[in-house]
Amino acid sequence: MLVGARPGEIVVTGSTTVNLHSLVATFYQPAGTRTRILADRLNFPSDIYALESQVRLRGLDPARHLILVGSRDGRTIDEVDLIRSMNDDIALVVLPSVLYRSGQLLDVERLARAARARDIPIGIDCSHSAGVVPHRLHDWEVDFAFWCNYKYLNGGPGAIGSLFVHERHHGLRPGLTGWWGFQKERQFDLALDFESAANAGAWQIGTPSILGMAGLRGSLDLFHEAGIARIREKSLALTAYLIDLVDSRLSASPYSFRIGTPRDAERRGGHLAIEHPDAIRIAKALRARGVVPDFRPPDVIRLAPIAFYTSYVELWDTVEILREIVDHGEQLRFAATRDLIS
């Protein structure tokens, strides 16, 4: 119910970037003139690094074989631009569902349909949508997907990742194999000839952290109880309220904040990008006042109100604190340089 998968289509394993590697190693099959991977310029860099190295591993040059579709406005990616780039030379498409900086929600159903019509496999990074936006990965016929469980899914810092492989690919031999991908009933026969598990479990590689899985299990029980439709409804109400507050209380001078996330509910995920030229210092001042944002270069303060535990009053208070920070120049006490993480 969380991502619209059938039971055998998901497995909890590895970590986001490692799962991306393992899935690309399976689904990227450059042949003849179809040799390129299509991705986008606004994706989280780890995904791009992984794609580049996968291209290199095939003896190809990323400068020619990794095509990155750009943004028209610096914040969002137009689905039309992506679909136009799905040419005969594309062997694989890998895109995020929600962009990590602006929070734009891409129309995954439309992109998957376009890729399928052109016979190109498509994989989706759901790190910023799993646990906050409903998906129908099976019905949309997405070939594969992967995500982390430590963002909206509350699996705890460094929680184990998840991956999805559509049923129609079950039985394939994964690009990166290990004994945890073997036929589950006979894994401990320890045979030397690899036989793929009959479901997404084939994409497990080695022993997972059982302690790490326990935290995720506890969190998933709560998601099951609440239901993703209700979580999405509450999340949209929270972000809509925050948009209203930013417009009415933070947009005029001297505050000059603006929303960098699409306003249309259909086109936004669970977080808001609030832009300000001095975002780097204001984010630090906000943290010092007990509100934890992310700063994302060059000018984004990322706020993610959570359906389970963020109240409307906390959003009001956050906006009042931002006004006070600017009123008193509190950000001037901080250096305009990057800290390691935020």
Ligand X SMILES: *Cc1c(COP(=O)(O)O)cnc(C)c1O
Q: Is 92:119 a contact under the CB 8 Å cutoff? A: no
Concerning whether 255 is annotated as a catalytic residue, the answer is no
From the list 55, 20, 203, 223, the residue with the least C-alpha distance to 125 is 20
Closest approach of Cβ 45 to ligand X, in Å? 9
Q: How far apart are CA 220 and CA 197, in angstroms?
A: 24
- Per CB under 6 A, does 316 bind ligand X? no
Q: How far apart are CA 8 and CA 123, in angstroms?
A: 17
- Per CB under 6 A, does 101 bind ligand X? no
Give strand pairing partners of 92. 37
- Per CB under 6 A, does 15 bind ligand X? yes
Tokens 């019905």 -> residue: 139
Concerning whether 234 is annotated as a catalytic residue, the answer is no
Closest approach of Cβ 232 to ligand X, in Å? 19
Closest approach of Cβ 88 to ligand X, in Å? 28
Concerning whether 302 is annotated as a catalytic residue, the answer is yes
Q: Please identify, using beta-carbon distances, which residue of 239 and 331 lies nearer to ligand X.
A: 239
Q: Which stretch binds ligand X (CB under 6 A): 9-17, 213-221, 261-269, 305-313?
A: 9-17
- Per CB under 6 A, does 40 bind ligand X? no
- Per CB under 6 A, does 187 bind ligand X? no
User: What are the φ and ψ backbone dihedral angles of 329, each rounded to 5 degrees?
Assistant: 60, 35
Concerning whether 150 is annotated as a catalytic residue, the answer is yes
- Per CB under 6 A, does 125 bind ligand X? yes
- Per CB under 6 A, does 96 bind ligand X? yes
Concerning whether 41 is annotated as a catalytic residue, the answer is no
Closest approach of Cβ 125 to ligand X, in Å? 5
Q: Is 124 helix (H, G, I), strand (E, B) or coil?
A: strand
Give strand pairing partners of 238. none
Q: How many residues bind ligand X (CB under 6 A)?
A: 12
Closest approach of Cβ 290 to ligand X, in Å? 24
Q: Which stretch binds ligand X (CB under 6 A): 11-19, 133-141, 298-306, 321-329?
A: 11-19
Q: Please identify, using beta-carbon distances, which residue of 163 and 285 lies nearer to ligand X.
A: 163
- Per CB under 6 A, does 128 bind ligand X? yes
b/e code 202-224 from CB counts within 10 Å (16+ = b):
bbbbeebeeebbebbeebbeebe
Q: Is 61 helix (H, G, I), strand (E, B) or coil?
A: coil
Residue 233: enclosing H or E segment and its boundaries?
helix 228-245
| 268, 281, 296, 302: the active-site residue | 302
Q: How far apart are CA 206 and CA 22, in angstroms?
A: 12
Q: Read out DSSP for 108-123?
A: HHHHHHHHHHTT--EE
Cα 158 to its chain centre, rounded Å, is 15
Q: How far apart are CA 191 and CA 182, in angstroms?
A: 9
Q: Please identify, using beta-carbon distances, which residue of 142 and 246 lies nearer to ligand X.
A: 142
One residue of 6, 8, 34, 46 binding ligand X per CB under 6 A: 46
Residues 130-149 that bind ligand X (CB under 6 A): 148
Residues forming contacts to ligand X in the complex (CB under 6 A) are: 15-17, 44, 46-47, 96, 100, 125, 127-128, 148
Catalytic residue list? 44, 125, 150-151, 302
